[in-house]
Amino acid sequence: MTRPVTRRHFVVTLAAPAVLAVLVGCAATGGAVVSAEDDQAALLARSKAYWTLIQKNDRVGAWAYETLSKDPSATLEGYLKRGGIAFDAVEVRGVRSIDGDRATVSVWMRYSLPLLRVKKQEVVVDDEWRRIDGAWHHVQRRSAMFPTQ
């Protein structure tokens, strides 16, 4: 003997798989959405690691933190040819802004330009970062003289 399908039975039958799919999806992603504080902490950690490598003149290690490393037309060899700046001291001072996948970090640095015999210059810069594949990457400026080009 078949029972007539009630509206309640019909809704429960359709809703149960939908709720299960949502729960499984949350479990697969860890069940948590990245908070603004976590995002800021991840950016600060990547920025500090990057600038530590740069200060130690470990450009090969720093390459993995660069947006250029994600560009198929860029090469590590080309990246290593850039430079000429010796960083005497670097301090990541904090995140100035995060806007979606773009961010700015305040960085104080003391640097020298040995080829030009310029020593111990100090500056605070707004260092640009971009999120690629879920990780923050440093945006290399093309020119210190013309940063927008």
Per-residue confidence (pLDDT) for residue 106, from 0 to 100: 96
> Which tens digit of pLDDT belongs to each residue from 32-79?
466 888 999 999 999 999 999 999 999 999 999 999 999 999 999 998
| Structural domain total, the chain | 1
Domain hosting 132: range is: 35-138
Per-residue confidence (pLDDT) for residue 30, from 0 to 100: 47
**Cβ neighbours for 95, distance < 8 A, ≥ 6 positions apart:** 40, 43, 44, 103, 104, 105, 106
Per-residue confidence (pLDDT) for residue 96, from 0 to 100: 95
Residue 96 lies in a domain: yes
Q: What are the contacts of 31-34 at 24+ separation with CB within 8 A?
A: none
Residue 87 lies in a domain: yes
Helices (H), the chain: 7-28, 36-55, 59-63, 76-81
Residue 123 lies in a domain: yes
Residue 24 lies in a domain: no
Beginning with the edge strand found earlier in the chain, give each strand of the sheet holding 135-138 in spatial order.
86-99, 102-113, 118-132, 135-138
Residue 121 lies in a domain: yes
**CATH code at 58?**
3.10.450.50
- The model's pTM is 0.71
> Is there a contact between 62 and 90 (Cβ–Cβ < 8 Å)?
no
Residue 50 lies in a domain: yes
